[in-house]
Amino acid sequence: MTLDDLRKIDLQDLRNIDLRSAGDWPPVGKAVALALLAVVIVWAGYYFVISKTLDDLASRRQDEQQLRQQFVVKYRQAVNLDAYREQLAQLRESFEAMRRQLPDSNEIASLLVEITQAGLGRGLEFELFQPSDPKPSGFYAEIPINIEVSGTYHQLGEFVSDVAAFPRIVTLHNLSMTPVGADSDLLIMRGMAKTYQYQEEDEL
């Protein structure tokens, strides 16, 4: 169909088109109708089929990227699984060793006696030994003990060294020393000792 053929089409003829008699249309009309039908079919095919397929393809590509990233993470974890297990075993061993250094509720009384005996064994005199209520903190509870003891400088130093060597954890804080008097070589040491009580799961 040429441009001259299209020019021969009268607009009035287009308005009077009878689709029921399409078989009797002139060749030019048939060609135009087929061209329009082809355009409609192509547009409908793109809109209803191809565009949705493209959207689905883009979604699947995005899912593929996410799955690839997840695979890389899982693969690295699988490769390092033995190392993670070894580290976990070491952490458990370290935790158990530290836990054994914390007295449980049944051992606190005997530990307090050990502290006083360590001081008395060095010739110190206790002016104050006052444990406070436990203060929970995670899997352990902190037990502060206000202390005030008197003795010579060397006696106090040996007492501090003995406490530091306890198999159970006892720490000393805010220690201060003041002379008893001008004519005496005795000192008064004030401060706070802290021990840490391991808490069982039912206590937590």
Query: Which of residues 39 and 160 earns the better pLDDT score?
Result: 160
- Same domain flag for 25 and 75: yes
Is 89 inside any structural domain? no
Angstrom distance (rounded) from CA 140 to CA 104:
9
- Same domain flag for 63 and 112: no
- Which tens digit of pLDDT belongs to each residue from 145-185? 999 999 999 999 999 999 988 888 888 999 999 998 777 78
Is 57 inside any structural domain? yes
Angstrom distance (rounded) from CA 44 to CA 117:
97
- Same domain flag for 112 and 70: no
Structure tokens at 105: 């509720």
Give 82-89 contacts, CB < 8 A, sequence gap 24+.
none
Domain assignment of residue 176, given as a range? 103-198
- Same domain flag for 111 and 185: yes
Is 154 inside any structural domain? yes
Secondary structure element (H or E) that encloses residue 126, with its range: strand 125-131
Per-residue model confidence (pLDDT) at position 204: 47
Domain count for the chain: 2
Is 95 inside any structural domain? no
* ∠ Cα 198 203 204 (to 5°): 85
pTM of structure: 0.50
Is 50 inside any structural domain? yes
Per-residue model confidence (pLDDT) at position 11: 46
Is 56 inside any structural domain? yes
- Same domain flag for 190 and 151: yes
- Which tens digit of pLDDT belongs to each residue from 59-107? 888 888 888 888 888 888 887 878 888 888 888 887 777 767 676 667 7
